[in-house]
Amino acid sequence: MASTPTTLPALTRLFAKLGAPDPEAWAESQLTEGIPQLARFLFLRQAWRQILTDGDTSWIDLWITASRQGPDDPYAGVGAALSRLRAAGASDHDLTELVRGLQADLLFALCCQLEDPGELEPEVQHVLWALVQIDEHGEILGQLGGLHESVLETDPTGREMRPGGPSEHTAEGPDAPLFTPDDYQPLADAAYREEDRRRWFREATGCDAHDDDQLERLADLTRRVGIYLQRTGEAGPAAESSRS
């Protein structure tokens, strides 16, 4: 059976292989402070693997399908709620961001509870617990303390659960509306007035439409404006003139 390295270079290489952030710091802490950092990191790494992967939205269809196949099963309400949220306009990326954040927060709370059971009745205040490392024979090697202190540090994205930059996973991504509903009507009026759509696109977005990708954004914006006008019943200048 493999044994834990006892030199800084070897232990650092092991932490790096396992995916630890700043592997040398983890290794040095274990060797100089006697903290079982390898066991702490492995527990948290495995716990993070139970949390949604950043940007992975495939889980939503799985939950919705399971809910439809077993509407009275435990957790079926999750899939039903996801289906309703989708129908109401929630994006898969926003749903994933929400659920992933709550899962990570639960992991943090559970790690805190390992240290502090919270308020207990007087009759059971002597009942305590801890997470410990054991050997292959089940013998206790030591307690894994302070896990809550390393939850964010071990976020696989390296962002410590902070939002990422503008991408498909954020409100600034391509799946999000380019403008808020309050913006639609004045932008629609401008679009109807301007015969030169490229110039209108530049004024509305601050970008020059030099390529197909940008023109596609223009088409998408026009579509969104049309949907808004249909929902509000306001036809806009072009439609008004066509009726007259």
Q: Which of 2-11, 46-55, 153-162, 190-199 has the lowest mean pLDDT?
A: 190-199
Cβ-contact 90, 58 below 8 angstroms: no
Distance in angstroms (rounded) separating the CA atoms of residues 11 and 23 = 8
Tell me what the mean pLDDT of segment 60-78 comes to: 97
Please state, in angstroms and rounded to a whole number, the distance separating the CA atoms of residues 201 and 95. 31
Q: 45-49, 53-57, 102-106, 194-198: which has the minimum mean pLDDT?
A: 194-198
Q: What is the pTM of this model?
A: 0.68
Average pLDDT, stretch 33-50?
98
Determine the residue type at 171: A
Percent of the chain with pLDDT over 70: 67
| Residue 199, both tokens | 């110039």
What is the pLDDT at residue 113? Answer: 95
Instruction: Check whether 56 has a pLDDT greater than 90.
Output: yes
User: Tell me, what's the pLDDT at 222?
Assistant: 59
Tokens 């700043």 belong to 22
Residue 226 burial class via C-beta count within 10 angstroms: exposed 0-12, middle 13-18, buried 19 and up? middle
Please report the pLDDT score of residue 220 as a whole number.
Answer: 58
- Phi/psi region, residue 180 (left: phi>0; alpha: psi -120 to 50; beta: rest), is beta
Task: Report which of 39, 90, 46, 44 is spatially closest to residue 64, judged by C-alpha positions.
Answer: 90
Q: Which range, of 14-28, 40-54, 125-139, 222-236, averages the lowest pLDDT?
A: 222-236
Beta-strand ranges (E) seen in 116-173 are: 132-134, 140-143
pLDDT tens, position by position, 91-138 = 999 999 999 999 999 999 999 999 999 999 999 999 999 999 999 999
Could you tell me the residue ranges of all domains in the chain? Answer: 36-154, 181-243
Distance CA 230, CA 244 (A): 19
Is the CB of residue 228 less than 8 Å from the CB of residue 184? yes
